[in-house]
Amino acid sequence: MSAQREMKEKNPWPVTIIIIVIGVIVIVALVTVAVLQNMPLSQKYKYGIVLDAGSSHTALYIYEWPAEKDNNTGRVQQTHVCKVQGPGISSYASEPWKAGESLMACMQEAQQRVPGKRHLETPLYLGATAGMRLLNMENSSASDAVFRAVERSLHTFPFNFQGARILSGQEEGAFGWVTVNYLADRLEQGLETTGALDLGGASTQISFVSSNYDGSESPSNSVTFRLYGNNYNLYTNSFLCYGKDQAMKLLLAQQTLLAPKTIVDPCFHPGYSEAVSYSGLYDSPCVSNRKPQGAPEAFNHTGSGNFLQCQDVVKSIFNFTYCKYSHCSFNGVFQPLLQGHFGAFSAYYFVMDFLNLTDTSIPLTKVKEVISSYCATPWDEVKRQHPGVKVKYLAEYCFAGAYILTLLTEGYNFTSDSYTQIEFIKKIKGSDAGWTLGYMLNLTNMIPAEAPDSPPLPYAGYVSFVTVMAVLLFVLVIVSTRRFWLRCSKRPQIV
Ligand SMILES: Nc1ccn([C@@H]2O[C@H](COP(=O)(O)OP(=O)(O)OP(=O)(O)O)[C@@H](O)[C@H]2O)c(=O)n1
């Protein structure tokens, strides 16, 4: 009897085990509830569609971002791009309905790609650039008719169509800069920004922040932003007619001043020969006022492939002498001193990639040698060496290489040192560099002026904190009530 009593007096374990089990259950329940309550919701996505109606072609971009994170940086990504078949919408001036029709295939693709339940809320924008700027200057009723046709087509889709409009050159430059810096996460972190160099078919843009530009000299080149709590004073300029295709028209116009029947163009390969109609060449407002009197119907465009002579003709399409400001790029346009890194995209990338010159640590002397050797290659050999490349592009890369080099070094004043600060890019983190993403972010208010409030702890830190605190609390309770439980378990029990 006394042995049995002794055993009951000395065994505190059943009570302690029950306490520990209850404690563990409470901790697990506490942590689970806290974690579930604060867990990011299962990812639902929102979508936005932008049509880039460029001078040479139209492309449709689909962007996607987590539905809960509209305001967070770096979260909007390009998920799909569709290249519209055929030329840019400005080429349909004489049959505008075809402009609308040309977009249908890519729009149907977008309808497949964006989940059906998101269609109605998905914003759809069409922005037209230099091709439509030129058509609007030349024939505004034709450009209106093209927009009407395009809008009619876009209205037939279930998206939230926000309209079609021409972007100003300044908008095109500024939104390209926003895209590049947003994708590289430089805006939210307030890092030094990257400049943007965009070479299109009909215009070219340069945009950068320079500490010696406050907008007071040539205010028309200034765009100010407040993004994530930082103020930016951006310098931007768009040169209409200095995109790759229109610059080539300037070059040909320069060589046909006297209405010749044949020109020997140093920017085209030896053996190259193509008939070019005078009316086709001079239909653009970039050159229409220079059409020579009494020109025949066409001229024979032949090549000699001489890079040095090509550079001379290319230089002649710029005015490097006139400048009423402290510094100019060309044609009397103000430009502050270059500063920082630059991303060069669109045709800059296509051309330099083709020529294997995207590595800007290659010295400029070597760059010239490479372009020079490409220009001197006979046309038949060029076509033989690159069977998969469009013949039109192949023929133009000699001119385009010389043009890009002249534009960058003599136009924008990049030196052999600052040239190394340029990066020729197509995509950043999977999204194309260009104005479209910046345009959509702006119109959907997805970049806040002020930095968003962030939680004091990251999610993983929060989970660890709750767990450690719950365990500590439990240990504390056990320790502080230990004496009480021991006393209870030691109290003699008379059985
Ligand atoms: N593989 C390629 C693809 C395109 N291009 C050239 O790149 C230019 C098109 O650039 P893009 O940015 O698409 O211009 P657009 O948007 O059509 O023109 P813009 O912005 O001036 O309206 C055209 O001159 C085209 O000849 C090229 O040289 N090589």
Instruction: Please give the pLDDT value at position 457.
Output: 66
pLDDT of 28 reads 76
Q: Do the interacting molecules here have an ipTM over 0.95?
A: yes
Q: Enumerate the known binding-site residues.
A: 201-205
CB 2 within 8 A of CB 492: no
| Residue in 47, 51, 45 with CA at minimum distance from that of residue 434 | 51
| Domain match, 20 and 80 both | no
pLDDT at 21: 78
Binding-site residue ranges for ATP: 201-205
Evaluate whether residue 73 is within a structural domain. yes
202: in domain: no
Same domain, yes or no, for 311 and 386?
Answer: yes
The residue length of the chain stands at 495
Below-70 pLDDT ranges, the chain: 1-12, 30, 34-43, 69-74, 454-463, 466, 477, 482-495
Same domain, 15 and 85: no
pLDDT of residue 23: 74
Burial 223-260 (b: 16+ CB within 10 A, else e): bebebbebebebbbbbbbbbbbbbbbbbbbbebbeeee
* One domain, residues 149 and 254: no
Q: Quick one: 33 and 85 in the same domain?
A: no
Q: State the distance from the centre of ligand 1 to the C-alpha of 270, rounded, in angstroms.
A: 24
Q: Does residue 480 sit within a domain?
A: yes
pTM of the model: 0.87
Number of domains making up the chain = 3
Q: Which of 205, 350, 356, 390 to mutate to test the pocket of ligand 1 (most atoms within 8 A of CB)?
A: 350
Nearest CA to 269 among 145, 175, 384? 384
User: Residue 467: its pLDDT value, please?
Assistant: 74
- Ligand 1 mutation pick, 244, 357, 404, max ligand atoms within 8 A of CB: 244
State whether the beta carbon of 57 lies less than 6 angstroms from ligand 1: yes
The pLDDT tens digits of the residues spanning 25-61 come to 877 776 777 666 666 555 689 999 999 999 999 999 9
The pLDDT score that the predictor gives to residue 206 is: 99
| Residue 132 and residue 249 in one domain | no
Q: Is 172 among the catalytic positions?
A: yes
Whichever domain contains 338, its CATH number is: 3.30.420.150
Identify whether residues 128 and 98 lie together within a single domain. yes
pLDDT at 69: 61
| Of 64, 171, 172, 423, catalytic | 172
382 and 348 assigned to the same domain: yes
Which of residues 166, 182, 202 is at a domain's end? 166
Among 424, 446, 475, give the residue marking a domain's end.
Answer: 424
Q: Is 87 in the pocket of ligand 1 (CB under 6 A)?
A: no
Asked if 259 and 334 sit in the same domain, the reply is yes
CA 456 vs CA 31, 35, 210, 472: distances in Å:
19, 16, 34, 21
Written as six digits, the tokens of 471 are: 């365990």
Q: Is 229 among the domain residues?
A: no
Looking at the structure, tell me whether residues 257 and 381 fall in a common domain: yes
What is the domain range of residue 485? 2-38+457-490
